[in-house]
Amino acid sequence: MNRIVLGVAGGIAAYKAAALCSALVQCGDEVDVVMTADAERFIGALTFAALTRRPVHTSLWQAPEMIPHIALAREAAAVAVVPATANVLAKLAHGIADDLLTNVALATRAPLILAPAMNTAMYEHPATQANLRTLQERGAHIVAPEAGFLAERESGVGRLAERDVIVAALRDVLARSQELAGTRVLITAGPTREALDPVRFLSNASTGTMGIELAREAIARGADVDLVLGPTVVEPPFGARVVRVTTADEMCAATLARAAGANIAIASAAVADWRPALAQARKVKKEDAPPALALERTPDILAALGERKNGTFLVGFAAETHDLEAHAREKLVRKHLDAIAVNDVSDPASGFGTGDNEIVLLWDGGREALGRGPKRALARSMWNVLARLRAARSNG
């Protein structure tokens, strides 16, 4: 049995929340309903009380001795806001807590599921879309609205998703949120920069997005995540312990310092393999530039992790331009990896600096093509396979 907080905001779709509430109760869930004042204009609290056989919460001040927003937030396995109006989305995106529902949603550490419903123009407004992106980047799960007939007697996107779609999303979130509970995950992401002088460096086009999405998905599955992150403008996920580094030496030191306690380590960082043998303290003028640049190797972080695995499930990445799987399998063996993700960085439509990627996951005696798609979706697919492989190793 899961304890679910069902937040009902003030939109015409509030009446559909009653059918959702009934479905959850019939599935055996314990449902605490939190209504905004505007929601009560569309549907009565008595309806939800009859369905749940539990008190309905409508105010921060109903029972001030129990601090209801903290009690509800801590006891929930998930918080679902159905419907999520433009107003509630804006408040949550900007951290405004001016009623019981927004207080609960901001105070909880449980997964947050948001099912928007509103007029098409409101949904498509840049402010609403920006708020949805912000909430999703923080780990909220968005159940996208459907196109159809709206209360304004118009047709368009903004109609609340069907009850079964919301139930399925909630079930999926609950299952994932428990999968990696109690697991420590270490992820490296992003490029490194190796200085030539104070204004120039050797690096690559990695943004760290793939590793950041892997960290976000691990958190959604209940993991305790350390993220060692090279220079990037992409924001890391809320809930990760982020260590920012610049050089390969810094990334190596930070990674190895955290590796001992990790159950799973994923080295997705695009570490610069070489650095200038001598970094200049002052900017080198064009007329003073040397005719050749002497380079030296940077530390091999993945090899160092492989040498001291001590039970850690170790996953590497291989960014290749040719003979992808042959190179990746050689790396899999040489660096003592449990799995390796290989992608073609010569393809301008995937890999470094793009929103999409195309990954094949390899392991000893196995292979699974994850296909091409957004890096967030690929991170989820990759974790699905990694969880299965790790469980098989544990059972073997």
Q: List, by residue number, the catalytic residues.
A: 204
Q: In what order do the strands lie in the sheet with 141-142?
A: 30-35, 3-8, 78-84, 112-116, 141-142
Token couple for 237: 């996920």
The position carrying tokens 């292979």 is 367
Sole residue written with tokens 């609290």: 45
Place of tokens 């380079």: 295
Q: How far apart are CA 359 and CA 378, in angstroms?
A: 8
Element (H, E) at 363: strand 356-363
> What DSSP string runs through 55-107?
PPB--TTSSGGG-HHHHHHHH-SEEEEEEE-HHHHHHHHTT---SHHHHHHHH
C-alpha span between 19 and 160 (Å, rounded): 12
